Chains A and B, each alone.
Chain A
Amino acid sequence: EAQVTQNPRYLITVTGKKLTVTCSQNMNHEYMSWYRQDPGLGLRQIYYSMNVEVTDKGDVPEGYKVSRKEKRNFPLILESPSPNQTSLYFCASSLSVQTGGLGELFFGEGSRLTVL
């Protein structure tokens, strides 16, 4: 089954304790992205990756890091989490528009993070 898998789905942590949210897709998509969803703000892009070893900042990258060492994985790293990073996070993937993909993003189920 084609899917985007995120882990963990739920996490409560404390300020400053490094954490990683993993994301994996099995559709051989070039493009992967992280979004955060906050009430009244919709979804905002954190980072994206056009392909292996190619990453770039989205609209709200502060406090986050990413890496893309393999095509299927795109982990989101919070080196020193703070309470303002409490949010619902979504990973998404697609074929690249640049290489002829039609634009539809496939989303994971979301990871709800609480930073105390």
Chain B
Amino acid sequence: AQSVTQLDSQVPVFEEAPVELRCNYSSSVSVYLFWYVQYPNQGLQLLLKYLSGSTLVKGINGFEAEFNKSQTSFHLRKPSVHISDTAEYFCAVRRRSGGGADGLTFGKGTHLIIQP
């Protein structure tokens, strides 16, 4: 079974400041890693994903994440945030191989609050 821990339920940041949202996962098998964003009153949108290859992954809206296998982490970063980045961010994993449950396991989310 997999589990995902998002270490901060809420992160307040000033506009134009950098931000890091932390995500750690636990899994007995190899997984794909994802970050999804949910803007107020909307569905989930894929921000970025790690499948294989380079451990630094770039996504939409200037976000990037780094996969660290030894620390089982997949932290999300942005060098300069904007008011429009205010949203709920979810880290998720999905097992690579078949057998058993085949869905995404989500963390509980981090609410990013941008302060002017």
Contacts and interface: CB of A to CB of B under 8 A. Distances in A.
Interface of A: 31, 33, 35, 40-45, 48, 50, 56, 58, 90, 92, 96-98, 102-105, 107-110
A103 B36 CA distance: 13
B115 interface: no
Counting chain B CB atoms within 10 Å of each CB, the highest count among A40, A45, A103, A107 belongs to: A103
What range describes how many residues of B lie at the interface?
20 to 34
Given A40-B108, A42-B106, A58-B103, A103 B51 contact: yes
A15 B95 CA distance: 37
Contact of A108 (B43, B90, B108): B43
A44 B109 CA distance: 12
B90 to A, nearest CB: 7
Interface of B: 9, 32, 34, 36, 42-46, 49, 51, 90, 94-99, 101-109
A97 B94 contact: yes
A103 B94 contact: yes
Given A35-B106, A104-B49, A109-B43, 9 more contacts: A33-B103, A45-B103, A45-B105, A97-B97, A98-B102, A102-B32, A103-B49, A105-B104, A107-B43
B97 A48 contact: no
Contacts of A102: 32, 49, 51
A41 to B, nearest CB: 6
A42 B107 contact: yes
A97 B102 contact: yes
B34 A56 contact: no
Nearest to A42: B108
